[in-house]
Copies of this chain bind each other. A is one copy, B any other.
């Protein structure tokens, strides 16, 4: 293992929040109890606020429903999606911790090939606390892992790496397919455990899935906006993709790292492909323009904070993508509102911030 510039420490109990968007009971937490119970949970209730979400006993958590979102953000709550798991980013906004792990409520504990239960959170923390290597590819994958290093021909000046902003985990069982692929291959299951973590190289975009995702909120939080999706919007299931495209170009600009690979979770249930097709179909053709847009984005050198980068990106989105659909004008505005909301709740002057009054449980 190469010498990382930062060290893997304790499991960051007081520095990490687990954010879960849900419309149902949180029974899935029972299986995660040994791994999650020491941490603070932020539950964002997706949809009807009158519905009662049950959290298993013994978890330290706060719960926000739509009424809470409106109360906390006032007019700025318009940037938070309703009836869509995109609402999870509200949890990123109200957290006061350095790290976030977010997971869907249909994701369970996976097992590695030896049959051992995978502590997904521990692996994400390991990924985030060791550097990334976006400028050159290491053929033996993550050089900061035990038992491996940089291979011959890897420039020594690049071996320090850069801070890791995002750790993207994968899924056993139900793969994260779009509706057309779900329809064509309803029985395909992911059974392959690829024992690797790797840095996504600078300049390369990837499809970031929000199901099993961790990030450093201080490094990249303001770029983790999941857009306008679901109720009243022309599109769904592109919330995490949007966040991934924006976050990746900003990470590239600011020399921050994005890793993908381990850990796996067990994804239990395929969502309905017919419903998904309705949500996705505009995204499927819009992305043919969106991807080249993000591939060509160049942020100005004087954008040195995530907020500055994000506001610049919002302008470019309005300018370059509104010809694709007027939706992108609205999305560009919402990106600005999101940053205003972020700064409102995360202003350095306000720290330590007053609690934002979710329903505190336990």
Instruction: Judge whether A81 is part of the interface by a CB distance below 8 angstroms.
Output: no
Residues of B near A209 (CB, < 8 A) are: 139, 151-153
Instruction: Tell which of B150, B189, B200, B238 touches A137, judged by Cβ atoms closer than 8 Å.
Output: B200
Query: Which residues 138-185 in A have Cβ within 8 Å of B in the complex?
Result: 138-141, 147-158, 168, 170, 175-178, 181, 185
A96: shortest Cβ distance to chain B, in Å? 30
Indicate whether A291 sits within 8 Å of B238 (C-beta atoms), given known contacts A149-B181, A209-B139. no
User: Which single member of B147, B151, B260, B284 contacts A207 (CB below 8 Å)?
Assistant: B151
A274: CB under 8 A from chain B? Answer: no
For A153, the chain B residues whose CB sits under 8 A away are 178, 207-209, 238, 240-241, 244, 287
- A148 contacts B192, C-beta separation under 8 Å: yes
Q: Does A206 touch B at the CB level, under 8 Å?
A: yes
Q: Are A190's CB and B147's CB within 8 A?
A: yes
**Contacting pair A291 B204 (CB below 8 A):** no
Q: Are B194 and A141 in contact (CB under 8 A)?
A: yes
- Contacting residue for A149 out of B152, B188, B196, CB 8 A: B188
A201, CB-defined interface residue at 8 Å? yes
Is A52 positioned at the interface, with any CB of B under 8 Å from its CB? no
B260 with A147: CB separation less than 8 A: no
The answer to whether B148 touches A207, judged by C-beta atoms less than 8 angstroms apart, is: no
A18 to B344, CA, bound (A): 65
| B residues less than 8 Å from A240 (CB atoms) | 153
Across the interface, which residues of B come within 8 angstroms of A201, CB to CB? 200-201, 203-204
Q: A147 and B191: CB pair below 8 A? A: yes
Residues of B contacting A207 with CB < 8 Å?
136-139, 151-154
In the bound complex, CA of A361 to CA of B362 (Å):
81
Whether a CB of chain B sits under 8 angstroms from the CB of A288 is yes
Residue of B nearest to A178 (CB): B152
Q: Are A205 and B137 in contact (CB under 8 A)?
A: yes
Instruction: Enumerate chain B residues within 8 angstroms of A175, measured Cβ to Cβ.
Output: 140, 148-149, 151
User: Is B194 within 8 A of A155, CB to CB?
Assistant: no
**Chain B residues whose C-beta falls within 8 Å of the C-beta of A241 in the assembled complex:** 152-153
Q: List 29 A-B contacts (CB under 8 A).
A: A136-B206, A136-B291, A137-B204, A138-B206, A139-B168, A139-B206, A139-B207, A141-B194, A147-B189, A147-B192, A148-B188, A149-B181, A149-B185, A149-B188, A151-B177, A151-B178, A152-B177, A152-B178, A152-B207, A152-B241, A152-B280, A153-B238, A153-B241, A154-B207, A155-B288, A156-B284, A192-B195, A201-B201, A201-B204
Q: With A138-B206, A140-B170 given, name 20 new contacts (CB 8 A).
A: A136-B204, A136-B205, A136-B206, A137-B207, A147-B191, A148-B175, A148-B188, A151-B175, A151-B176, A151-B209, A152-B207, A153-B209, A155-B291, A156-B284, A193-B195, A194-B196, A201-B201, A201-B204, A203-B203, A204-B204
The interface of chain A, by Cβ under 8 A from chain B, is: 113, 136-141, 147-158, 168, 170, 175-178, 181, 185, 188-196, 200-209, 237-238, 240-241, 244, 260, 280, 284, 287-288, 291
